[in-house]
Amino acid sequence: MATAPTLKMTAEIAQQIRQHGAETYPHECCGALLGRDGADGDVATAGGVQLPLREVKGLYPLTNRREDSPHNRFSVTAEDVRDAEKAAREKKLEVVGWYHSHPDHPARPSEYDREHAWPWYSYVIVSVANGKPAEMTSWRLSDDRSEYACEEIAIRDRAAKL
């Protein structure tokens, strides 16, 4: 049976991503998602189906270095990757993805986003309309780069048990 990837995060982390998008508006915000990947056997059961589980445990906000067009060009540099991986290691986590905002645009990946994505990582996009955070989605590029598919975001209550 086909399994759909799911990205899990607390309401608090979801709020931090939205907040970052509101703060940098009308420019894009971006950052790294630090967490754990379900490849080690963690699964979530939904409707009797076991789903690979990836969980975001923290964020590493980045500075959008695209000075030329900071409102619609999200890019992660090699230096960003190194810094984010270092921050993750210090928390005994790994970089499981990246997030950025779409000021006054829907939470859908642009052609640019798809072309600059790497397989495996989760790409969270939050739409910020008139300075207010709106829809949030997550995407994953297939290993052969042919498909950029939406993955479900499961937001769990902060008080819920891990």
Q: Site residues (CB under 5 A) for Zn ion? A: 74, 110, 113
Residue 53 contacts residue 97 (beta carbons within 8 Å)? no
State in angstroms the smallest separation of the CB of 76 from Zn ion.
12
Task: Output 80 or 113, the one with its CB closest to Zn ion.
Answer: 113
Closest separation in Å from C-beta 74 to Zn ion: 5
Q: Which residue number has the CB closest to Zn ion?
A: 113
- Complex with Zn ion: residue 60 or 139, whichever CB lies closer: 139
Task: Name the burial class of residue 18, with classes exposed (0-12), middle (13-18) and buried (19+) by CB atoms within 10 angstroms of its CB.
Answer: buried
Q: State whether residue 108 is helix, strand or coil.
A: coil
User: What sign does the dihedral 82-88-90-92 (CA atoms) show?
Assistant: negative
* Closer residue to Zn ion (CB): 15 or 72: 72
CB of 64 to Zn ion, least distance (A): 11
